[in-house]
């Protein structure tokens, strides 16, 4: 749900009480090493993981913890990162010394 890597998930479970509680760990209980997540995911494979996630989704919806509606997308102005290197070069050519979010709109290819 948090789109974490296996190593980040290991740390998240170690440091976040809500995550420990959600996963059924006690406060003092050790949490799994990142390699466990990799091994389990590999052994299960995508054909078994997909139905598992669908079941979890259905249970969360039934409990009122997840919306049954569509996905909302924040459409505020974002600059695409696809041309970031070229834009950095363009800023340097214009003698702009600091390349940050204030400068980026001046040289961004994405309007």
**Burial class of residue 16 in the structure, from the number of CB atoms within 10 Å of its CB (0-12 exposed, 13-18 middle, 19+ buried):** middle
The predicted structure's pLDDT at residue 77: 61
Query: Over its length of 111 residues, how does the chain's per-residue pLDDT go in tens digits?
Result: 567 889 999 999 999 999 999 899 998 999 999 999 889 888 988 888 888 888 988 998 899 888 766 666 776 666 556 667 777 788 888 888 777 777 777 777 765
How many helices (H) and strands (E) in the chain?
5, 0
CB 110 within 8 A of CB 79: yes
CB 31 within 8 A of CB 10: yes
Question: Which residue pairs from 58-64 have beta carbons closer than 8 angstroms and sit at least 24 positions apart in sequence?
Answer: none
The predicted structure's pLDDT at residue 1: 59
The predicted structure's pLDDT at residue 15: 92
The model's pTM is: 0.47
């Amino acid at each position: 749900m948090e789109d974490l890597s296996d190593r980040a998930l290991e740390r998240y479970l170690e440091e976040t009480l809500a995550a420990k509680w959600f996963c059924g760990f006690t406060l003092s209980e050790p949490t799994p090493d990142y390699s466990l997540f990799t091994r389990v995911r590999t052994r299960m494979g995508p054909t078994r993981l997909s139905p598992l996630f669908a079941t979890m989704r259905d249970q969360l919806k039934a409990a009122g913890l997840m919306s049954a509606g569509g996905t909302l997308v924040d459409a505020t102005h974002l600059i695409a990162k696809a041309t970031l290197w070229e834009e950095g070069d363009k800023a340097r050519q214009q003698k702009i010394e600091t390349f940050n979010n204030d400068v980026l709109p001046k040289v961004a290819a994405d309007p």
